[in-house]
Amino acid sequence: QVTLWLKKIYGNQPIPQYEVNARTVDILYELAECNEARDRDVSLLIEDMKQKATEYEAEANYLQGLLAESLDLSLSSLSSEGTSYLNVLVNSAMTLETKDTSLAGFFCAINDMTSELYATESKNREMELELTNIKKKLTAALMLEKRLQEDLKKTEELLEVEKAKADSRSQNLKFLKDKSEDLKIRIKAAEEQLAATGLDQSLTHESLVSLSE
């Protein structure tokens, strides 16, 4: 089936060489199916267009005969000005998508298009207003984002300063703790040394202060 399809596609030209395996055959088979389905769709479309052309031609012949019988008019008997007016009338009817060229049909179509135009313009104004509001909100959001970024930067800088101060306080606190521990050790050592030398407790600073009072 794939070979027959390739011969149909290339006609009298030789079929290009290709590697024959399960994958290439599957791919070509899918292409053949799609191509044949498309050909069928196109054939149906052509037949439909031929049928419509036949119907339009019959309708045109009927109308031409009706004009010739009732008004003794034909396209060949119209003046250039009359043909121009007729073309304008037909183009207007096609543009307005009317079923006929009656005055009532034209008025209805024009009213419908006018209403549609007003509705579209109203919708456009609403969309422009909404777009303006969105732009305002977007501008406000961008300004807020910029302000937040500046505040964040200032906060980060302040945190850096506070962190440096905290590190300095921590180092000072550690120094004071170490110094306090050193003084306690030295005081204890001095007290032990004084106690070892037999110092009279009445001669201590605290006892002398009490005695003076």
Whether the Cβ atoms of residue 17 and residue 47 lie closer than 8 Å to each other? no
**pLDDT at residue 3 tops 90:** no
Verify that 121 and 177 share a domain, yes or no.
yes
pLDDT reported for residue 21: 87
| Residue 206: both structure tokens together | 């605290």
Verify that 41 and 124 share a domain, yes or no.
no
pLDDT reported for residue 41: 92
Query: In this structure, is residue 51 part of a structural domain?
Result: yes
CA–CA separation, 142 and 146 (whole Å): 6
| Mean local confidence (pLDDT), 130-148 | 93
Query: In this structure, is residue 55 part of a structural domain?
Result: yes
Mean of pLDDT over the chain:
86
CA dihedral for 153, 157, 162, 166, sign (positive or negative): positive
What residues contact 56, with CB distance under 8 A and at least 6 apart? Answer: none
**pLDDT at residue 70 tops 70:** no
Find the angle CA(11)-CA(16)-CA(20) to the nearest 5 degrees: 115
pLDDT reported for residue 54: 92
Verify that 43 and 119 share a domain, yes or no.
no
Q: How many domains does one find in the chain?
A: 2
Whether the Cβ atoms of residue 106 and residue 96 lie closer than 8 Å to each other? yes
**pLDDT at residue 131 tops 90:** yes
| Mean local confidence (pLDDT), 95-121 | 85
Verify that 112 and 144 share a domain, yes or no.
yes
pLDDT reported for residue 145: 93
Query: In this structure, is residue 154 part of a structural domain?
Result: yes
| Mean local confidence (pLDDT), 85-91 | 82
Verify that 33 and 114 share a domain, yes or no.
no
